[in-house]
Amino acid sequence: MQLRYFASLREQLACSEETFNSNAETIEALLNELAQRGNLWASLLRDNPRLQIAVNQALARRNTTIKCDDEIAFFPPVTGG
């Protein structure tokens, strides 16, 4: 699957996109796998209740089913002013 990280997530994780091999069947399972990379990954992704997620450019929830050929994007909440 293709993972993409946007805005402050991209900066803090020092990664804008990657191809990731996973057997995860849900976003939640994928987040748990990514959290194994360390505390920064866990806090920014898995443990972040405000994390926004899109699967194939459609907003998704943590219980959304995913497939190996999906594009999954992670981004912080958008704030207005």
Note whether residue 81 is domain-resident. no
**What type of residue is 75?**
F
- Residues 9-28 have pLDDT tens digits of 999 999 999 999 999 999 99
**Enclosing domain of residue 66:** 2-75
Give the strand pairing for 17-19 and 52-55. Answer: unpaired
Both structure tokens of 79: 């704030």
In a domain, 34, yes or no: yes
CATH of the domain at 70: 3.10.20.30
pLDDT at 80 over 80: no
* Nearest residue to 55 (alpha-carbon basis) of 36, 28, 33: 28
pLDDT at 77: 79
Total structural domains within the chain: 1
Angle at 66 between CA 10 and CA 16, to 5 degrees: 15
In the chain, alpha helices (H) = 7-13, 27-35, 39-41
pTM over 0.75: yes
Q: Are 40 and 13 in contact (CB under 8 A)?
A: yes
**Nearest CA-CA partner of 3 in 44, 46, 16:** 16
Residue 80 lies in a domain: no
